[in-house]
Amino acid sequence: MAETTRTDRELEKREQTKRPARWSPPQLLPDPTPEEGYVYRWIRLSLLGNDDPTNISSKLREGWEPVKAADHPEIFTDAVTDARFKDNIIVGGLMLCKAPEELVQERSEYYQQLTESQMRSVDNNLMRENDPRMPLFHERKTKVTFGSGN
């Protein structure tokens, strides 16, 4: 039997193949560095090139306050033409704003209660028109049953 010279497997070096980084589209709106106790939101200043003062004024009355560009230098901003918001962070017609977490939670609870009351109203109207012989609507109930195990 002929002997072959073999190198030990430990001595063989295998180049590690590094998987190339995959391209992904850039994020349209950058995320600001989180600040304890605040929630961030992008608010529309303009739509299709037309200013939307009604939207921005309603959001400011709700308690959202514009974020200064100096507070978040990591976010690149467009050149701002509106003198009212020249020191704020604006990207593509949207301005970065923040509000206290408590305010956002109260707002969410308000709209949740409003939604629930509207659903109750719709259900009551449907039930008023309901006839047992031909039901329009079934109650939103679930029933759990267990098999006999056979």
pLDDT digits (tens, 9 = 90+) for 24-58: 777 778 788 888 999 999 999 888 878 888 988 99
What pLDDT shows up at residue 53? 86
Q: Where are the domains of the chain?
A: 38-101
Which helix (H) or strand (E) segment holds residue 65: the answer is: strand 65-66
pLDDT band at 106 (very low <50, low <70, confident <90, very high): very high
pLDDT at 111: 92
Least confident of 101-105, 131-135, 136-140: 136-140
Give φ, ψ of 54 to 5 degrees. -65, -45
Q: Give exposure, 119-138, as e/b (b: 16+ Cβ within 10 Å).
A: eeeeeeeeeeeeeeeeeeee
pTM: 0.60
- Distance separating alpha carbons of residues 36 and 100, to the nearest angstrom: 9
How confident is the model at residue 123, as a pLDDT?
81
Residue 13 neighbours by CB distance under 10 Å: 6
